[in-house]
């Protein structure tokens, strides 16, 4: 389980076909920016996103097995090929039993052995379904719910709405004692992306629920359970009741509402309805005295449902969730049915990725650090790391200058902000030490057992950290991941090796491109230290108000204006971006762009940036930033993104430039241009 994170992108990124990657990498030699991906016929002041990416959008066809396609995905494709070569080599070798290389090979073999999955999968699932069917009373139900508790949630990335258990566990530095790990409990219990999918009256959502009901029934039917239609109706009704108790994504992002320490003895009074003593006993948490409850209202409401809803509904829900979570390891029929709903209905994808691709992704996710060690040895040079570290240092220096020059902040607040910047733990490329997989046994021909054991292995790893001293140099991402991350409770940043490649980072490209591409990403992650969530933590990672009332009022007013700005973006007539839900990421985009622009100019040391292909240095910088977000996406996937993602859709992230004064002068933006904002309306935070 990962610590709390703030990423440049959602965590789950998949690669795509080589032909699409070639299009995305259609960079003009020596420019860094991709001229063919632009549409210079579009005035930059009217639609900067299309100006930077219109060519790519026009000449790119979305493959049947993709919900979206963008520049980040292009680099993910390269990382995938690199990772696949590592796994392939391990599979061809004969590494010693118990070694990481052998586990990589055996895990991949188990995924690829479809005959063994058909042979072992359903027989392995049946005993778990029998245990659920045998539940007779509330005490046994509480035990079953406790057994399903997994460290499968992420509070700050809001994946907690999609969990098998009614609640989820997350182990991270303590809000109130940041030197030690603490257990956090979060709402869960639903399978659709978030509560809006259950509660919205929009026609599109009603259609999704109809198809979801049919999917649940088919899932029950495929494993041979009786009365599948009646079971499915009970599951959907119970998940809907749970969704009504859940807190929205926007509210979950308010750190101050999340800091709720409860003693184990408090649960019976504050959230009656569930046998908490038995729940914690089954979850191996009966010795733990204090938990931090992220969404108290949800716990009260969801625990009450345990008492008020018929036990058969809970048994059906538990059965459906375990089938769903292990469908890919149970049978081809179940895996195909799962894809038909979650892939096609929810995301619009009509074709699954090739099995070897899915196998590589699975192995890389399950044995991330084992694969990562081999990845950096083969694909990330010390020279690349040193150059990337230099850019990070320049961004930190630029940010410090910006903090020191702020006029609206009181001296003590500014002092703490500068101290927080100075204590950032920045990891570039890969961690200082690697996770051990000792104790995780892998079978070459039993995928179900491998998945089950992996979940237990991760869960017990998390349990073992509770109360331990925090390792602030621990990474939450693997080196082969194309993403970047801010860890507010650790006051740390991770920049994995895989993102430090073209087109985001190219030692041969002009500085204007590198600062506009990877520089704005680095700036984004630094800026999360001071976004609407990061600002709640002090330099030691403790939740503490280190602001004067006047400073906080100014910050809240400015960020409210930014939220209102994003509220105006509507990808569909019936659906607009939620500026409050996306606020933290939007703050980071605005501040990261400004800091990277300053760092780019500082890197020139008074010299003029070279003109490339007719574009000035500043033009290259902003075009590179805009091209970070180039992509196409299916309508179903875009709807899901708007409803469930703390990031704004890519086409609106490119419009961050509207708040940067330098963009206006660089492209001669006029008040008559569609994207023009008057100086007083441009949001400046850091």
Domain boundaries, the chain: 17-62+382-429+505-627+649-681, 105-365
- Nearest C-alpha neighbor of 350 from the set 637, 67, 17, 64: 64
Task: Check if the beta carbon of residue 586 is closer than 8 Å to that of residue 579.
Answer: yes
Query: For the sheet containing 425-429, what is the strand order?
Result: 6-7, 485-487, 492-496, 425-429
Provide the percentage of residues in the chain whose pLDDT is more than 70. 93
What's residue 324's pLDDT?
96
For residues 572, 573, 579, 582, the Cα torsion angle rounded to the nearest 10 degrees is -20
What's residue 158's pLDDT?
42
What's residue 155's pLDDT?
53
Convert the pLDDT of each residue in 317-366 to its tens digit: 999 999 999 999 999 999 999 999 999 999 999 999 999 999 999 999 99
Which class would CATH give 17-62+382-429+505-627+649-681?
Answer: alpha beta
Neighbours of 26 (CB within 10 A): 15
Cis bond before residue 503 (omega within 30° of 0): yes
Provide the percentage of residues in the chain whose pLDDT is more than 90. 82
By residue count, the chain amounts to: 686
> Considering just the CA atoms, what is the radius of gyration of the chain in Å?
25
Task: Check if the beta carbon of residue 360 is closer than 8 Å to that of residue 350.
Answer: no
Rounded to whole angstroms, how far apart are CA atoms 679 and 344? 44
Poorest-confidence range of 44-48, 69-73, 553-557? 69-73
Superfamily (CATH) of domain 105-365: Neutral endopeptidase , domain2 (1.10.1380.10)
DSSP H or E segment with residue 590: helix 583-603
What's residue 454's pLDDT?
96
Convert the pLDDT of each residue in 300-314 to its tens digit: 999 999 999 999 999
- Nearest C-alpha neighbor of 588 from the set 527, 656, 515: 527
What's residue 77's pLDDT?
87
What does the pLDDT average to over 503-522?
Answer: 93
What's residue 5's pLDDT?
53
What's residue 2's pLDDT?
33
SS3 state of residue 291: strand
Q: Could you report how far apart the first and last alpha carbons of the chain are, in Å? A: 32
pTM, two decimals, is 0.88
Phi, psi of 38 (to 5 degrees): -90, 165
What's residue 303's pLDDT?
97
Q: Is the pLDDT of residue 178 over 80?
A: yes
Looking at every residue in the chain, the average pLDDT score rounds to 91
Convert the pLDDT of each residue in 246-272 to its tens digit: 999 888 888 889 999 999 999 999 999
Q: Is the pLDDT of residue 76 over 80?
A: yes
Point out which residues pair with 182 in neighbouring strands: 172
Q: Is the pLDDT of residue 673 over 90?
A: yes
With a CB cutoff of 8 Å and minimum separation 6, the contacts of 184 are 155, 169, 170, 171, 172, 291, 292, 293, 294
What does the pLDDT average to over 507-517?
Answer: 93
Q: Is the pLDDT of residue 662 over 80?
A: yes
Residue 73 pLDDT class (50, 70, 90 cuts):
confident
Residue 9 pLDDT class (50, 70, 90 cuts):
low
Rounded to whole angstroms, how far apart are CA atoms 142 and 619? 60
Q: Is the pLDDT of residue 541 over 90?
A: no
Q: Is the pLDDT of residue 162 over 60?
A: no
Convert the pLDDT of each residue in 14-58 to its tens digit: 322 333 333 444 555 567 899 999 999 999 999 999 999 999 999
What's residue 151's pLDDT?
54
Task: Check if the beta carbon of residue 234 is closer than 8 Å to that of residue 311.
Answer: no
What's residue 590's pLDDT?
97
What's residue 560's pLDDT?
96
What's residue 508's pLDDT?
86
Task: Check if the beta carbon of residue 148 is closer than 8 Å to that of residue 164.
Answer: yes
What's residue 159's pLDDT?
39
Q: Is the pLDDT of residue 532 over 90?
A: no
Convert the pLDDT of each residue in 623-659 to its tens digit: 999 999 999 999 999 999 999 999 999 999 999 999 9
Say which DSSP state 178 is in.
T
Convert the pLDDT of each residue in 362-398 to its tens digit: 999 999 999 999 999 999 999 889 989 999 999 999 9
With a CB cutoff of 8 Å and minimum separation 6, the contacts of 302 are 166, 167, 187, 189, 242, 245, 246, 271
Paired tokens of 466: 């509770």
Residue 6 pLDDT class (50, 70, 90 cuts):
low
What is the number of helices (H) and of strands (E) in the chain? 30, 10
Rounded to whole angstroms, how far apart are CA atoms 245 and 302? 6
Say which DSSP state 184 is in.
E
Convert the pLDDT of each residue in 485-495 to its tens digit: 988 888 899 99
What's residue 163's pLDDT?
44
- Nearest C-alpha neighbor of 247 from the set 169, 167, 319: 167
Rounded to whole angstroms, how far apart are CA atoms 465 and 580? 33
């Amino acid at each position: 389980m990962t610590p709390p994170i703030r990423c440049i992108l959602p965590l789950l990124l998949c690669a795509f076909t080589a032909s699409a990657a070639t299009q995305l990498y259609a960079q003009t030699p020596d420019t860094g920016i991709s001229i063919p991906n632009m549409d210079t016929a579009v005035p930059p002041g009217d639609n900067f996103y299309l100006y930077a990416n219109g060519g790519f959008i026009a000449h790119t066809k979305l493959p049947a097995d993709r919900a979206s396609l963008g520049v980040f995905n292009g680099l993910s494709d390269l990382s995938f090929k690199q990772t696949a070569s590592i796994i392939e080599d391990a599979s061809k070798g004969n590494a010693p039993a118990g070694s990481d290389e052998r586990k990589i090979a055996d895990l991949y073999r188990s995924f690829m052995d479809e005959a063994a999955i058909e042979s072992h999968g359903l027989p392995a699932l049946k005993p778990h379904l029998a245990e659920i069917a045998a539940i007779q009373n509330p005490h046994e139900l509480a035990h079953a719910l406790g057994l399903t508790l997994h460290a499968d949630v992420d509070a700050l990335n809001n994946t907690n709405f999609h969990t098998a258990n009614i609640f989820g566990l997350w182990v991270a530095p303590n809000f109130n004692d940041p030197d030690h790990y603490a257990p956090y409990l979060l709402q869960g219990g639903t399978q659709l992306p978030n509560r809006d999918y259950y509660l919205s009256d929009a026609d599109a959502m009603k259609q999704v629920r109809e198809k979801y009901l049919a999917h649940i029934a088919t899932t029950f039917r495929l494993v041979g359970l009786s009365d599948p239609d009646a079971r499915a109706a009970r599951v959907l009704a119970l998940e809907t009741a749970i969704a009504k108790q859940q807190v929205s994504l926007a509210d979950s992002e308010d750190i101050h509402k999340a800091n709720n320490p409860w003693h184990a003895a408090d649960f019976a009074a504050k959230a009656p309805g569930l046998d908490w003593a038995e729940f914690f006993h089954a979850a191996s948490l009966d010795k733990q005295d204090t938990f931090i409850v992220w969404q108290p209202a949800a716990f009260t409401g969801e625990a009450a449902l345990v008492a008020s809803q018929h036990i058969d509904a809970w048994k059906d829900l538990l059965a459906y969730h375990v089938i769903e979570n292990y469908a890919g390891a149970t049978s081809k029929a179940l895996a195909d049915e799962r894809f038909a709903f979650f892939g096609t209905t929810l995301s619009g994808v009509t074709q699954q990725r090739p099995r070897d691709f899915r196998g590589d992704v699975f192995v890389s996710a399950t044995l991330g650090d084992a694969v990562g060690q081999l990845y950096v040895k083969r694909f990330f040079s010390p020279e690349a790391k040193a150059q990337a570290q230099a850019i990070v240092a320049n961004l930190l220096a630029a940010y410090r200058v910006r903090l020191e020059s702020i006029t609206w902040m009181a001296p003590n607040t500014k002092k703490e902000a500068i101290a927080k910047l100075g204590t950032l733990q920045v990891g570039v490329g890969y961690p200082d030490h690697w996770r051990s997989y000792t104790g995780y046994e892998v079978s070459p021909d039993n995928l179900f057992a491998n998945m089950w054991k992996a979940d237990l292995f991760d869960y017990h790893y998390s349990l073992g950290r509770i109360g331990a001293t925090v390792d602030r140099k621990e990474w939450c991402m693997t080196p082969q991941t194309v993403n970047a991350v801010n860890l507010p409770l650790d006051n740390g940043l991770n920049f994995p090796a895989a993102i430090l490649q073209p087109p985001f980072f190219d030692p041969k490209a002009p500085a204007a491109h590198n600062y506009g591409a990877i520089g704005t990403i680095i700036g984004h992650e630094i800026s999360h230290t001071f976004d609407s969530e990061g600002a709640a933590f002090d330099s030691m990672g403790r939740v503490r108000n280190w602001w004067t009332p006047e400073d906080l009022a100014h910050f809240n007013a400015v960020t409210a204006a930014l939220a209102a700005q994003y509220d105006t973006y509507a990808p569909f007539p019936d659906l607009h971006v939620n500026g409050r839900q996306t606020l933290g990421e939007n703050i980071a985009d605005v501040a990261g762009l400004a800091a990277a622009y300053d760092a780019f100019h500082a890197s020139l040391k008074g010299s003029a940036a070279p003109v490339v292909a007719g574009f000035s240095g500043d033009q290259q910088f902003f075009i590179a930033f805009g091209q970070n977000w180039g992509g196409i996406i299916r309508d179903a996937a875009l709807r899901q993104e708007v409803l469930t993602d703390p990031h704004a859709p890519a086409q609106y992230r490119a419009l961050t430039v509207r708040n940067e004064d330098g963009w206006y002068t660089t492209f001669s933006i006029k008040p008559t241009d569609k994207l023009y904002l008057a100086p007083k309306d441009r949001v400046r935070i850091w």
